[in-house]
């Protein structure tokens, strides 16, 4: 994959560049602020852009806003947004649209999982950090998820993270077939129209969760 990185912490940026190159990817640009990131994306037309939420200029959420613009102006470029702690306000709309991921930075340390998520997002799928999913799937008043069994909740969480049925099966030490059964049961109980495409499924799940928040 051809990758552009926007990250203001030099230490983290250089580490990421090396890690991605070791994994055989081509890092075509690694820059330290949101404006340079957008320029690099426009210039290089990469497969995916990795962006820190907090970046100059402004140091607040320039990275997140740049990510939204990239998704709008360059639909072919997928975006993986990273942050130090969970921030939900920017990520949910973008995740639901596909070609977008949002992870905490330390997920990078689980290298294989991280690379898998990158691949998924670059392929038009989604990736949503388990912390964010937990915030969405957590207990609430009149919890619509009360109808699910604990195992179904678990599966739903992994669906919301953007994982494929195979990925979920792998995670939970289940067979693909069992996962399929759980998924159709969940979609049935929540009244969500099923879909073959994974990211559409994520979209439906997220839309459902947010609507009931």
Partner 1 sequence: MRWPLIAAWTSAALAAAAVAAALVLHGIDPDPQDSALAIVAEAALAAPALVAGVAIARGRPRNPLGAIVAVIGLLPAADAFLGAWASAAAAGEVAGAGWAVLLFQEDWIVVFGALALLLLLFPDGRPISRRWRGAVVLAIAGTLATAGAALVRDDVFDAPYASVPPPLGLVSGTAADVLTGVALLSLIAALGLAAVSTILRFRRSRGVERTQMKWLAAGAALLPVAIVAGTVDGLVNDEPTLITLIPFVAAYVALVAAVVVAMLRHGLYDVDRVISRTIAWGALTLALAAGAVGLALLVADPLGGGSTAGAAVAAVAAAVAFDPLRRRLQRVVDRRFDRDRVRAVERIEAFAALIHTGEAAPEGIEGLLREALGDPGLRLLVWLPGEGAYAGLDGGVAAAPSPGPGTAVTAVGRGDAPLALVVHDPRLDERPALLADVLRAAALPVEVARLRDELRHRLEEVEESRARIVRAGDEERRRLERDLHDGAQQRLVALGMALRRVQRRVAGDPEAARALDGAVDEVAEAVRDLREIARGLRPGMLDDGLGPALADLARRTPLAVDVEAPADRAPAEIETAAYYVVSEALANAVKHAEATRVSVTARRHDGRLVVRVEDDGRGGAVPEPAGGLAGLADRIAAHGGRMELESRPGEGTRLEVELPCGS
Looking at the Cβ atoms of 16 and 190, the one nearer to partner 1 is 16
CA pair distance 94, 80, nearest whole angstrom? 10
User: Closest approach of Cβ 198 to partner 1, in Å?
Assistant: 26
CA pair distance 82, 64, nearest whole angstrom? 9
Q: Choose the binding region for partner 1 from 69-77, 104-112, 145-153, 178-186 (rule: CB under 8 A).
A: 104-112
CA pair distance 56, 144, nearest whole angstrom? 40
Judged by CB under 8 A, how many residues of this single chain contact partner 1?
30
Residue 151 near residue 168, CB atoms below 8 Å:
no
Binding flag, residue 207, partner 1 (CB under 8 A): no
CA pair distance 2, 23, nearest whole angstrom? 12
Q: Which parts of 28-67 interact with partner 1 (CB under 8 A)?
A: 54
CA pair distance 80, 70, nearest whole angstrom? 11
User: Closest approach of Cβ 210 to partner 1, in Å?
Assistant: 11
Q: Choose the binding region for partner 1 from 136-144, 155-163, 178-186, 200-208 (rule: CB under 8 A).
A: 136-144
Using alpha carbons, select from 37, 161, 17, 60 the residue that is nearest to residue 101. Answer: 161
Site of interaction with partner 1 (CB under 8 A): 9, 11-12, 14-16, 18-19, 22, 54, 84-89, 104-106, 108-111, 134-135, 138-141, 213
């Amino acid at each position: 994959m051809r990758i552009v990185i926007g990250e203001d912490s030099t230490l983290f940026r250089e580490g990421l560049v090396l890690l991605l190159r070791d994994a055989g990817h081509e890092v075509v640009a690694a820059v330290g602020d949101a404006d340079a990131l957008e320029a690099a994306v426009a210039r290089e037309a990469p497969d995916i852009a990795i962006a820190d939420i907090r970046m100059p200029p402004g140091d607040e959420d320039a990275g997140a806003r740049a990510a939204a613009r990239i998704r709008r102006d360059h639909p072919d470029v997928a975006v993986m947004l990273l942050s130090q702690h969970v921030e939900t306000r920017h990520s949910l709309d973008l995740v639901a649209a596909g070609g977008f991921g949002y992870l905490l930075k330390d997920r990078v340390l689980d290298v294989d999982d991280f690379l898998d998520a990158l691949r998924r997002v670059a392929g038009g799928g989604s990736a949503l950090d388990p912390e964010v999913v937990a915030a969405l799937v957590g207990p609430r008043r009149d919890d619509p998820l009360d109808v699910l069994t604990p195992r179904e909740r678990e599966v739903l969480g992994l669906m919301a993270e953007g994982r494929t049925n195979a990925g979920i099966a792998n995670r939970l030490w289940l067979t693909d077939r069992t996962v399929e059964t759980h998924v159709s049961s969940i979609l049935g109980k929540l009244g969500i129209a099923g879909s073959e495409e994974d990211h559409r499924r994520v979209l439906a799940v997220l839309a459902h969760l947010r609507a009931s928040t």
